């Protein structure tokens, strides 16, 4: 696999650069949200859950870089060196731990939303102003004050989404649950895509380029990537255009890896025929 810069490679460089910019923006977003949800501090695991997106994105960026190295930039001879191969797999395992953490973090967030507490004896948000509490709807956090308390919600029933820190009304809580569920579904789909790429790379390392396993892996990609495009549309529907944009960039980035794998497979087949 010898790297040749053509239009497709320049496009990949642009996509990867944009993904890195998005990563920085996600860090800023996590810090902003944590300023509402972690104001009273928390345990180490609670902080990791608060920065689950940052952790998740960092692991995916590293994995994307490693796949680009393995499927395009570096030669097969480089990966045949035991020390280099061990380092690569060690870093990948480290990233997988981060990704498993993401599943854990998003699952805990969803379960906590299923166990929210009703705020007793409260009929409007203005009664919460002295308590220094924020209101959340559609992942947007707003500090409740006398100027906005009646504008944020006209409901008479409210719930703590973060004990003594953040509240929402019934419709807002329902939406937060749906968005949390989509987060879990999204990361699971990406893990399935990761598994299919790992299997394809391992098989091609063994010079296996045909067979039912490879055919089923290729067929499954249509469903998996199609599901991700549906999730991107869902984010767009709820006004999270940045999330949809990021989803699209990641899809294109990993499709580029898929194309690398396909080109590599053709090289192997041509080598075997020769």
Q: Give the CA dihedral 173, 163, 167, 37, nearest 10 degrees.
A: -100
Residue 23 · residue 57 · CB < 8 Å: yes
Phi, psi of 32 (to 5 degrees): -65, -45
Give me the pLDDT at residue 274, please.
56
Whole-model pTM? 0.84
pLDDT one-digit tens code per residue, 83-132: 777 888 888 888 999 899 899 999 999 999 999 989 998 889 999 998 88
Sign of the CA dihedral with 71 first, then 75, 80, and 85 last: negative
Listed in sequence order, the residues at least 6 apart from 24 whose beta carbon sits closer than 8 Å to its beta carbon are none
pLDDT one-digit tens code per residue, 45-83: 889 888 988 998 999 999 888 888 877 766 666 666 777
Q: Which tokens go with 88?
A: 């690569």
């Amino acid at each position: 696999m010898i790297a040749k810069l053509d239009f497709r490679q320049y496009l990949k460089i642009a996509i990867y650069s944009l993904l890195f910019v998005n990563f920085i923006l996600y860090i800023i977003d996590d810090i902003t949200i944590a300023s509402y949800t972690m104001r009273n501090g928390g345990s180490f695991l609670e902080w990791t859950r608060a920065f689950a997106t940052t952790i998740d994105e960092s692991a995916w960026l590293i994995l994307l870089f490693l796949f680009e190295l393995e499927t395009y930039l570096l030669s097969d001879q480089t990966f045949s060196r035991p020390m280099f191969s061990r380092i690569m797999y060690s870093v990948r395992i480290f990233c997988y731990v981060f990704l498993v953490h993401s599943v854990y973090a998003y699952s805990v967030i969803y379960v906590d939303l299923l166990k929210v507490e009703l705020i007793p004896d409260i009929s409007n948000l203005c009664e919460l102003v002295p308590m220094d509490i924020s209101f959340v709807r559609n992942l947007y956090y707003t500090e409740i004050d006398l100027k906005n308390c009646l504008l944020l919600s006209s409901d008479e029933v409210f719930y703590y989404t973060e004990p003594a820190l953040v509240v929402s009304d019934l419709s807002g809580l329902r939406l937060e649950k749906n968005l949390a569920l989509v987060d879990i579904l999204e990361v699971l789909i990406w893990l399935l895509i990761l598994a299919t790429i790992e299997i394809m790379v391992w098989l091609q390392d063994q010079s296996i380029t045909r067979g039912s396993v490879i055919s089923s892996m290729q067929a499954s990609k249509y469903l998996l990537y199609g599901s991700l495009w549906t999730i991107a549309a869902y984010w767009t529907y709820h006004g999270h255009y940045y999330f949809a944009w990021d989803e699209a960039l990641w899809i294109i980035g990993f499709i580029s890896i898929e194309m690398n794998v396909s080109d590599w497979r053709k090289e192997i087949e041509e080598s075997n025929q020769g």
